[in-house]
Each structure stands twice: as structure tokens, then as C-alpha cells.
Amino acid sequence: MNSTNINDPVAVKAILDQLRASRLWRDTLNSSSSHISSEQHADVRESPSPSTLEDVQGESKAQSFDAAPPASVASLLSQLRSSPWTPIAVDTPPVSNAPTTHPLSQNIPRPKLQDPQPTQSEHRTPWPVAATPVQDVDIRSLSFQQALPHLTQLASDPQFLAAVSRLRQEQNELEQQLWEERQAIHKKHGEKVKVARTKATLIGAGLSKHEADMMNDAYRRDLQRFDKDRALLAWDALIQKQQATLESLGVPAMFATSSQANCQKQRRVVQVLEGL
């Protein structure tokens, strides 16, 4: 065998090729194939899985060197030991107990979890919600312009027109009665003045200023008493009756009240009713 520089990887590779081609090498491999196979399976289970093709090739070469029988290459090894050479360090990947993760798995999108579809039993009909009753419009608070459409609608009802006609008749009768009672007071004081003048004429003296003032004061007091104690009370009672009746008939803005603003609006509504 020629002297070969052991540091030359090309020369070392040529020597290894010659060894593999020899008959002794093949016989040795066949005799120990079963032993090598079992050891390889054990090494595969204990060693970490290589992640690249270079690691696989490196491990295959290492296993081939370990499987070579020492007796067949004794002369070669003796020459290698006698030659000064530096062994080539082989980087062995550290053993890790962590599971090997394929680099492509990080780029594979994970399937999105879909929400479970409701079963047929979950499709339940919701309970019916009671409809909120629509509140009636407060016709008492309507303005005069807002009350006009309601008055137009009421004007088409014959019963409503008959009820308004009866109220109007009652008002006319009360006005006539109060006017007659007031006229009776006026007539009574007129007769008193006539009697006083007749007496003054009989005695040959005219009606004195004092007597005339006394009769005028009595006449004014009787009228004021009549207006306060009779006419106004009767008129207020009539107004309250009309307000209650018109409210029951559904006339807007009509209700029992003494407010000046409300009474003013009611008078405008009554004017419309008088024109029906």
C-alpha cells in the first residue's frame, strides 16, 4: 500500500472505495449483516431524527465505519496510527427530548373551528310579545288648530249635533229667564220713582235730590245683588254643565276648568260649534 497523506480527504475516500470493493469486505459484511441490522434498529430508536439530508449521509458513513471488522483492516489501521494526522471533528446534533417540528408545518394554515350548528331542538319559536296598546290622544290638551279636524269629524254625527242643539236651547232659556228677572227689578224701581213723583206733585213740591239719590242707590244695590247672587251663579252652573256634556261628547279642549287660558280656547271651540 502506498504512503498516503491522511489529511487529504480525497485520498482517504479512495482508500475506502478500495476496501469496499475487496472480497474480504463483502464476506465480512454478509456474515455480520444480522448483527449490524439489529444494532442499527437500536441506534435509530435512541438517536434523534435527522432534519436534513446531510445528517442522514453523515450518520450512514459513521455506521459503515463502525460496522467494519477490526481483523480485516488491521494493517490499514496500524498504518493510520503510525502516521501523524489530526482527526476530523464531526458535529453531532445535540440530543433533544422535544418533539421534532417540521419547518413547513409553521406555514400551514390551521383550519378555523366553526361554531356548532344549533340542533333542531334549539330552533325554538320565541314567545309572542304582547303589543303595547296605543294610548288615546289627550284631546283636552289639543290646541285650537289641532281641535279643528276633530270638530269636523264630530259635525258629521247627527246625534252630536242634536246634543249641541239641546245645550244651545238650555242656554237661550237661561238667558231669557235672567233677562226677565232683571227687567222685573228695573220695573219695580221705576214704579217706585213714579209713586214718589206723584206724591211730590200732590203736595205741590218737586222730588228732592236726596229722595232721588236714595232711590237710585237702592236700584243699583238690587241689580248688584241680582247679578252676584242669581245671574252669575246660574251662568257658572250652566258653563260647568256645558263643559261636562261637551267633554262626554268628545269635543276637544272641553273640560271643567276656571283657567282663563283654557276658557278662552273653549270659547273659540264653542264659536265653531255654534256655526255647525
**Domain around 270:** 142-186+225-274
What pLDDT, on a 0 to 100 scale, did the predictor assign at position 137? 72
**Closest by Cα among 226, 257, 232 to 243:** 257
Q: Rounded CA gap, 271 and 276, in Å?
A: 9
What pLDDT, on a 0 to 100 scale, did the predictor assign at position 230? 94
Residues 174 and 72 in one domain: no
Cα angle, residue 230 at apex, residues 165 and 175 outer, rounded to 5°: 30
202's enclosing H/E stretch is helix 158-202
Query: Is residue 152 domain-resident?
Result: yes
What pLDDT, on a 0 to 100 scale, did the predictor assign at position 80? 53
Q: Rounded CA gap, 69 and 25, in Å?
A: 9
Query: Is residue 121 domain-resident?
Result: no
Residues 153 and 234 in one domain: yes
Cα angle, residue 115 at apex, residues 112 and 121 outer, rounded to 5°: 155
Residues 155 and 243 in one domain: yes
Residues 79 and 149 in one domain: no
Residues 32 and 153 in one domain: no
**Cα-based distances in Å from 8 to 15, 17, 58, 64:** 11, 15, 18, 20
What pLDDT, on a 0 to 100 scale, did the predictor assign at position 236? 94
DSSP 142: -
What pLDDT, on a 0 to 100 scale, did the predictor assign at position 47? 46
What pLDDT, on a 0 to 100 scale, did the predictor assign at position 14? 76
Segment 191-239, tens digit of pLDDT: 988 888 888 888 877 778 888 889 899 999 999 999 999 999 999 999 9
Cα angle, residue 67 at apex, residues 64 and 72 outer, rounded to 5°: 105
Residues 257 and 172 in one domain: yes
What pLDDT, on a 0 to 100 scale, did the predictor assign at position 87? 47
Query: Is residue 137 domain-resident?
Result: no
Handedness of CA 206, 211, 217, 222 (dihedral sign): negative
User: What cell was used for 77?
Assistant: 489501521
What pLDDT, on a 0 to 100 scale, did the predictor assign at position 139? 86
Given a cut of 70, the residues of the chain with pLDDT beneath it are 1-7, 22-25, 27-136
Query: Is residue 156 domain-resident?
Result: yes
Query: Is residue 157 domain-resident?
Result: yes
Query: Is residue 135 domain-resident?
Result: no
What pLDDT, on a 0 to 100 scale, did the predictor assign at position 248? 94
Q: How many CA atoms lie within 13 A of 153 on its CB side?
A: 9
Residues 167 and 262 in one domain: yes
What is the three-class DSSP state of 5?
coil
Total domains, the chain: 2
Query: Is residue 55 domain-resident?
Result: yes
What pLDDT, on a 0 to 100 scale, did the predictor assign at position 225? 95
Residue 25's Cβ-count burial label (10 Å; 0-12, 13-18, 19+) is middle
Query: Is residue 234 domain-resident?
Result: yes
